[in-house]
Structures are given as C-alpha cells and as structure tokens.
Amino acid sequence: MPTAQKTLKVTQTKSSIGFKSDQAATLRALGLGKIGRSREQVDNAAVRGMLFKVKHLVSVEEI
C-alpha cells in the first residue's frame, strides 16, 4: 500500500500583471491564473521551488 503524500493548497492572491513573465508562467504551471483560484499540489522540492518564485502572489496552506 503506497503512503499518502503531503499536499499543499495553493491559492492565487495577487495578479501577475506588472511582474516578470516567467512568474506568470510559473503560476500557469501551478494550475493558477486567476485571483482566488486554488489548486492542491504534492509537497515536493519542485513545487516548493515554484512556490518560492511566486511567494508574493500566492498563499499556501498544508492539508
């Protein structure tokens, strides 16, 4: 039986307008793109790196 992985609930809180285009692309890669949209992501190093890049545009909570 596989072990359950930790998940993070990521919610976009600010627009990517006025920020670098790679930050907008990171939001899209996370499944976001509109303010208020939320997605659940697996808690791993790749996702943590993406969240660090756009930490000023999102809020994160552990589930």
**CATH code for the domain in which residue 31 is found:** 3.30.1390.20
Three-class secondary structure of residue 19 per DSSP: coil
pLDDT of residue 2: 64
Specify whether the CB–CB gap between 4 and 40 falls below 8 A. Answer: no
Specify whether the CB–CB gap between 44 and 6 falls below 8 A. Answer: no
> Given the DSSP bridges, would you call strands 38-42 and 58-62 parallel, antiparallel or unpaired?
unpaired
Q: How far apart are CA 30 and CA 46, in angstroms?
A: 11
pLDDT of residue 1: 57
Q: Which domain holds residue 47?
A: 7-62
Domains of the chain: total: 1
Is residue 2, in this structure, part of any structural domain at all? no
pLDDT of residue 38: 97
Is residue 11, in this structure, part of any structural domain at all? yes
pLDDT of residue 18: 96
What is the full per-residue pLDDT of the chain (63 aa) written as tens digits? Answer: 566 789 999 999 999 999 999 999 999 999 999 999 999 999 999 999 999 999 999 999 998
Is residue 25, in this structure, part of any structural domain at all? yes
Is residue 23, in this structure, part of any structural domain at all? yes
Is residue 45, in this structure, part of any structural domain at all? yes
